[in-house]
């Protein structure tokens, strides 16, 4: 069952509809409710490998629905510690729970100061309203 539209207060957002949950020098990454809703039910996550690096504002993978494919943009730079195997095996988990079970990557930040460039929830909601 698809989740209801929400944008948690405790996350940082990237304008390409990605989120980051900061935990010390690590972060969990995922896509926002808006992104999964625009795509529809996900059927495929082309995931990177643990150990690889992701660069802020660059694509690190793809998510696909029946009708569309989208790059996933890294909101922050770092080394991949973990790829969410649950989403690789059952991509629709992202639709069900985009901020919880449907996270995509866990990374170790290479430059924590990048966080300052991300949007807080109000700024992201404003961006959605203006687009």
Give the footprint of other proteins on this chain (CB under 8 A).
2, 40-41, 43-44, 46, 62, 64-67, 69
Q: Which residue has the tokens 């080394």?
A: 79
Q: State both tokens at 15.
A: 């304008």
- Sheet with 18-23, strands from edge to edge, namely 12-14, 18-23, 26-31, 105-109, 78-83, 53-54
CB nearer to other proteins: pick between 40 and 112? 40
> What CA–CA distance (Å, rounded) separates 103 from 83?
9
Q: What is the nearest approach in angstroms of other proteins to the Cβ of residue 108?
A: 27
The H-assigned helical ranges of 28-112 are: 33-39, 85-89, 93-96
Query: Tokens 């079970």 appear where?
Result: 101
What count of other Cβ atoms lies within 10 Å of the Cβ of residue 4? 6
Smallest distance, Å, CB 69 to other proteins? Answer: 7
Nearer to other proteins, 67 or 113 (CB): 67
The minimum distance between CB 65 and other proteins, in angstroms, equals 8
CB of 66 vs other proteins, minimal distance in Å: 4
Nearer to other proteins among residue 71 and residue 82 (C-beta): 71
Name which of 59 and 110 has its Cβ closer to other proteins. 59
């Amino acid at each position: 069952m698809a989740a209801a539209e929400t944008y948690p207060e405790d996350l940082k957002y990237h304008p390409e509809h990605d989120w980051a949950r900061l935990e010390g020098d690590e972060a969990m990454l995922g896509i926002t409710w808006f992104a999964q809703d625009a795509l529809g039910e996900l059927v495929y996550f082309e995931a990177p490998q643990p150990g690889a690096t992701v660069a802020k504002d660059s694509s690190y993978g793809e998510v696909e629905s029946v009708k569309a494919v989208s790059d996933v943009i890294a909101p922050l730079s770092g080394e991949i510690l973990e790829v969410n195997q649950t989403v690789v095996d059952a991509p629709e988990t992202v639709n069900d729970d985009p901020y919880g079970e449907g996270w995509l990557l866990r990374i170790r930040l290479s430059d924590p100061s990048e966080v300052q460039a991300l949007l807080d929830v109000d700024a992201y909601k404003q961006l959605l309203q203006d687009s």
